[in-house]
Structure 1
């Protein structure tokens, strides 16, 4: 097998190893691949390992020998699955490798919005506590999350992990899901309709996939249905929110906070509407929830297992 890794650096900047791939054939590693480099690099590939490469008709046509696209991600919206199927190309993803990490980031964002730990620490390091005439001070409103209602949009493995943490913090949970999930319900966790969730939640957190149906899910109309002063979190996909609407709601005070690990265009562009609200209660991290050493280790181990299973004739984690 001729194996090509097209964007190796983002998954493994040097603290892990690709060596296991050598058991399956010849391996070529590229740290990054620009769109105009894809065709040349996949021309002889039997297996392509990639993360954010767009696999459209043109890219697939450039790889006549391609048999497997081994994604180093859970999401697979970068692949034209119909076009891949017509060409007999199998596509495999890596489900659930980062579930605890995304749940962790969700609460890291929420706690920062509520307690401003980073800003207060920077103030202390800049000497503000040394100069304080009081034993304690705070520069921002401090918010307790116990007793608050968390609204979870999307109750897959990550949404369920978030619900468990929320309950441990003493929060009540409302969740919305495309299918009924009675097993997720308990005294402090209940499934409701989307509009009811928006109306009742103090904090809304997004854990749904990027699909045509979820594109712009949180727009101006949805925000208008939320409580005044509610907070919004997005650790799913940037396209789930209308960023102009979110920025406007922060500026107007309709939303009291917004935390995100994802934006609609990544890397973020200089003209992102969210930057208009940078002086409000907003925290944005550069899509790092998935990137702990532990999660990336699980990720690559599953990619290797997916390739092995495909070669042995029993592919796993196939998406269609």
Structure 2
């Protein structure tokens, strides 16, 4: 059963074992990357297609005349036209909960950077500030402890829970936000507005939907403490980027750390990338990308394919076909 991986290069730097995939099905064709113009030609004759971020639109799906399964090498699946796949009765599956540890530690890395002022102290040393200091220990930047600080968690699923467990070990106080539009508060949770008003750190771990788009904007920034740090390792659309930039420039918040931008890669630039101060940390959508996480994702892809071929349950997205 011919299987084509359209952008294998996006999930490996030569450090991934493909054995699980190749034991599940054969033969394979791996492409490091596939442009929009190359998609139709490359999926001709394919019975299984795997894509991380390559767009599989209606034209592509209907052009693949032998197609039986689409696998997304990620949790998000907005790169696949689900309606077109359903019309052709082609199941689409994704992989879930493979990057929990990686994203959780990345979130804490951001928090520790702000607490220990790592970026500023590293820059100070590179500029000779320690070497020329009068004191053995320059106190240019205020280091703080995470112990006793309040962490507001927005999105308390797999990822939010993992972050909570690590933060608890640091001695942090935890506030779990209820849905923003909720009419009642579940046990163990707190009203959304109360969380963002009280938190010293706020971390986002919710999916992007019509309800959560621009979950954080000017109104929410105005509710926050001026000393708060906002962290987003989830989806870029959760924060209004223009409002974030204004909050940073105006000193409305103490800082922010983000692993996601509206357009990735930001080939046309982004005003956040031009922000000149160290209280904004940006990483290139790498929170998920530990080698363990990527290998786990590959193994789960193999499980999806194997279970599909054996008529067993798998992570099918367009469940109306089931």
Whether these two folds match at TM > 0.5 is yes
What is the Cα deviation at residue 64 of structure 1? Answer: 2.5
Deviation at 1:92, TM superposition (A): 1.5
Residue 15 in structure 1 maps to residue 18 in structure 2: no
Alpha-carbon offset, residue 164 of structure 1: 1.1
Contact 1:96–1:157 under 8 Å retained in 2: yes
Give the corresponding residue for 1:135: 136
Look up the SS of the partner of 1:145 in the other structure: coil
Q: CA deviation at 1:112?
A: 1.0
Aligned mates of 1:195, 1:145 — CA distance in 2: 22
After TM superposition, the structure 1 = structure 2 runs for residues 60-209 of structure 1, keeping only pairs within 5 Å, are: 60-178=61-179, 190-209=188-207
Identify the residue that residue 26 of structure 2 maps to in structure 1. 25
List per-residue Cα deviations over 1:148-181 (Å, max 9, x = no partner). Answer: 2111111110000111111111111111255999
* Cα distance in 1, alignment partners of residues 69 and 246 from structure 2: 44
Of 223-232 and 117-126, more deviation after overlay is shown by 117-126
1:243-258 equivalences in 2 (<5 Å):
243-258=241-256
Work out whether residues 155 and 177 of structure 1, in 8 Å CA contact, stay in contact via their aligned partners in 2.
no
1:273/1:107 CA distance change after superposition, 3 Å: same
Tell me, yes or no, if structure 1 residue 262 matches structure 2 residue 260.
yes
Question: What displacement does 1:270 show?
Answer: 4.6
Cα distance between partner residues in 2 of 1:270 and 1:139: 36
Using the alignment, how far apart are the partners of 1:98 and 1:276 within structure 2?
29
Q: Deviations over 1:299-318 (max 9, x none)?
A: 11111111111111114122
Q: Residue in 2 aligned with 1:211?
A: 209
Alpha-carbon offset, residue 293 of structure 1: 1.1
Provide the C-alpha distance between the structure 2 equivalents of 1:242 and 1:269, rounded to a whole number of angstroms. Answer: 19
Which residue, out of 306, 309, 317, partners 1:308? 306
Q: Equivalent residue for 2:222?
A: 224
> How far apart are 1:223 and its partner, in Å?
1.4
Within-5 A mapping of 1:37-52:
37-52=38-53
Q: Secondary structure at the match of 2:175?
A: strand
Structure 1 unmatched runs, 5+: none
SS in 1 for 2:234: coil
Deviates more, 1:19-28 or 1:154-163: 19-28
What's the TM-score, normalizing by structure 1?
0.91
Segments of 5+ residues of structure 2 without an aligned counterpart are: none
Contact 2:54–2:79, Cα closer than 8 Å, also in 1: yes
Structure 1 distance, partners of 2:278, 2:12, is 34
Cα distance, 1:172–1:68 mapped onto 2, change above 3 Å = same
- The alignment covers a number of residue pairs equal to 314
How far, CA to CA, are the matches of 2:192 and 2:78 in structure 1? 24
Distance in 2 (CA, whole Å) between partners of 1:200 and 1:121 is: 30
Query: What is the rounded CA distance, in whole Å, between the counterparts of 1:35 and 1:27 in structure 2?
Result: 20
2:254 aligned counterpart, secondary structure: strand
| Cα distance in 1, alignment partners of residues 111 and 284 from structure 2 | 16
- Map Cα deviations across residues 231-255 of structure 1 (whole Å, 9 max, x no partner): 1100001111111110110000001
Matched-pair contact (CA < 8 Å) for 1:149–1:172: yes
Whole-angstrom CA distance in 1 between matches of 2:271 and 2:133: 36
| Structure 1 partner of 2:273 | 275
Tell me if structure 2 keeps the 8 A contact 1:261–1:289.
yes
1:229 and 1:118, CA in 2 relative to 1: closer, same or farther beyond 3 A?
A: closer
1:233 to 221, 231, 234: 231
- CA distance in 2 between counterparts of 1:162 and 1:310 reads 33
